[in-house]
Structure 1
Amino acid sequence: MIDAVWWSYSLALSAFFFSLPFSRYMHIPTEILYIILKNAGIKSTVSRDGYAESEIYSCSSCGLCIDACPMCSASNKERFTSVYFVRALRNRSNFAEEYARECLMCGKCMEACPVGIDSIKLRELKKEESMSYGKYDNDYLSNAKYSNTPLDAPELIYYAGCMTHLTPGIYKSIINILEKASVNYTFLDKDGSICCGRPLIISGGREKAKKLIERNREIIEGTGAKVLLLSCPICYRIFKEEYALSGIKIMHHSEYIAKLADENRIRLKKGDFSVTYHDPCDLGRGCKVYEEPRKLLAKSANLNFYKESGPMSHCCGGSLASDRFSFEERGKVAKNALLSIEAGKADVVATSCPLCLKTLSVWHDKRVADISQIVNEQMI
């Protein structure tokens, strides 16, 4: 009897270990290795092999990312959420590339993931592996320059970026604030920008983006400025992560304006209206900037709070990471974000991203404003 029990136990245990690599329970031993490697600062360089293998097999298929994903508010997009993308990678499915491109890459799934799998990086790498560069020509960059490059080193250079140029109310407000504070600045890309490169990177075009980065770095470092001011979180994130600018402090406009207010270089009056703040994905989840915008808004208006803000803030739907979303589908994502924001019951929705401003303004019947616009109006 004892022998039969022992053999039954041994066979069951052997069957379990034999089937483990083919089951969802592979995450149990793999997570140990993944956490050690992750804490050592190792990053994936390909989407399927090497370190990425430990990431892929650490997914328990718990589905928490499905509930967090803003794509679930758009029609027929649930199947592209991170748990299914990781499963496609694990199974070496031919659909993995399609899953990679059907994503806004807002990063909310990573906040929800109990293991912290960087599915955004895996999607980016999968796009890179199938990227064709035939239509891209960056030869013009060797002679490209900014018409407003300063002759003398200013205290600060302001790089508005492509999206801010499409929302001129933001850069006009920032210029007014800088002049009110008597900042010695130069508006570097006043007459047009060389793209920061992040839209290319999140589309899988990292190699071509390197040329944009190199040219921008050369020009910006050549100004001799101590501070680079950015009003677009998309630009801010890539400058922080990829540019490695020597001797130049990189600041988002919410951080720099908050600094001006703290130093009493600008004075603000508190308005008799309420504001809720929408965290842009790249500024919040991407760069962990949460406090400065709220601190600044609290000096300018009555700041209201709502539950799904900060790290779990909803994506606005305007992301440049995917061209597979229709206008109507993006609208559903934006409306879902606004449902959460409207729980704050404020007069104005504030944000600190030109893309969020453009997207939310289309779908909201109340005012949506950039933080710089509110500060500009409340300056004494």
Structure 2
Amino acid sequence: MKRIYFQAGPTTLPKEVMQQAKEEWDDFLGTGLNIMEHSHRGSEYEGIHNQAKTRMKRLLDIPDTHEVLFLQGGASLQFAMIPMNLIQSGKTAKYILTGSWSEKAYKEAQKIGSCEAVVTGKDSEYRALPEMNYVSSENDAYLHITSNNTIYGTQWPDLHAFKHPNLVADMSSDIMSRPLSIKDYGLIYAGAQKNLGPSGVTAVIIRKDLLQENKSVPSILSYCVHAKNNSLYNTPPVYSIYLLNLVLGWIEKSGGVVEMEKRNHNKAQVIYDAIDQSNGFYNGYATPESRSNMNITFTLESDALEKQFIKESEENGIYGLKGHRSVGGFRASIYNAVPQESCDSLAQFMKHFQEKYGK
């Protein structure tokens, strides 16, 4: 039986990428070595490193005003690096809270400098995105948002709604899923393990005027230091960047982020249709206007029925649907590499399950 996976992350990689990595496993470009065995200062790895940067710039149309960095520590390290590097004396960092990850980013910033939560969706249990009514002020260090909320299944539909001179965005779970206007951001960061590749590397896109040297920041945590060293200040996660480069190549061959957006909309729609046309058998967690095209969350009316759903879905070769413990129910994560056929199969299973157990 063919297995179908909807993990929230780490998640599915494109089959073409996995095949190429398999073919190059013990002999990269005729060298007789895996790329992991090459020096990160050597020409073989240098070519991959720079090609990945170039591809990312091309795919997202990143202007010369911004730098691309490949760092370690996941998005969680960025929760600390951002305030350490960007909160200046007399300035306050502002946070918009839309879920667990934005809360964690905010709590980390509180340990480092002056910060304030200016908008929150907590009153709705993060089922709906809050009204964006914050106006920037002169003492703002930056405004931090999370573009997609994996646990609750919400996603900001219009990123142009945020007007701030130093807009910072955690795009770990939806980068490369739709076009962006990079010039509108001071900094974007994204852990790779959703849409960019395997865990181990984090992409940071930062406006160059924010690369200010700060001697109070340890070198390993300084954006300025990493930029000056082309993200090679210390040994990079070579294999993760190698796979990230292959994934970016796959996105290019597939039609770029415009095509990814179209595919992701179609994938999400077929599952949301199964929810909306179920007459309440399935209940979407997120409100319709806040729904994510990356993480689809829904529940059933009882714990017993939800356990049966998981049992029978796995018997049908469908895995990774159990929702986050803070929300319960189910979560179908349909990042770029998840094919339409998988989403069609899930929607079909949902309809059959309803026919079997619906009143």
Normalized per residue, which structure has more helix?
A: 1
Shorter-normalised TM-score: what interval? under 0.3
Normalized per residue, which structure has more strand?
A: 2
Task: From the CA coordinates, give the structure whose radius of gyration is larger.
Answer: 1
TM-score w.r.t. the length of structure 2 is: 0.27
